[in-house]
Structure 1
Amino acid sequence: MNTISFKATVASAEKNEQDQFFMIGLADDEYDFENYILLQQSFSFSEQDKQTGMDGHYFEINGQENAAYKVCTQVILEKDAITFVLDTNITGDLEKVVVDISEVEAEEGFNEYLQAIMGDRLVDNTH
């Protein structure tokens, strides 16, 4: 099983009331990034979302070709890192993505929106 690791320098958080979604992002650079993660979830899901399997969180790493719905089985938030544990039935041999956040100043709402997206799949070890 494989793990991707990178050090983030940027962490963004958004609660979009107009389009009805939460989003968090992590990247190794604000503009010229090589590695990034995008995690997003709608406030609610339509019947079509449910029928197509899009009724959960959206996870993308380093491009839309590396994206899936409901792929994170667990997200472990620690003081200096976030670990995304992935469903290998969806990702093949990619088991984890570990992001070093030791030097990131997360935007306001980051932890709250991460909780809203991941629910009981979030393990918050920051306390």
Structure 2
Amino acid sequence: MQIMTQKDLRQILDSILIVIQLGATWLERVYGTEVVRRPGYRTTLIEVAIALNAALTGYGMRSRLNLAAGGEIEVAYGVYLLEERLVWSPRGENPDWFHLSAAPKDPDEFVILCDLLMSCPRVIDLLDTTPKAGPH
């Protein structure tokens, strides 16, 4: 495959596969192995992977820019929801999830983020929503 020889493209795909696998694993961990049969599983997995990818990007930016945790500059992330025209990101201390959130600072904060995503009303609603039929 030609993609295997394109290092930059391969790095992008590898990072996307990591967040997809993490999202799938966490959905199964929280909702059981039958979660894959729920009508909105695919849409939910995409949404979770997008949020995790944004958080992972923020996490990587902090280390690449050598920003110390608790320093003057904070790295934030969020997902822009086109239909709602809002920025969305999970944050445990506030039930209003329409804002930017601080990027995770360590692996433990990714665990917290995954738990937050699984308990998010948006994610729960998506799991049980039947996908709209698209053009064929």
TM-score normalised per structure 2: 0.22
The answer to which structure has the higher helix fraction is 2
Structure with higher RCO (Cα < 8 A, 6+ apart): 1
Larger radius of gyration: 2
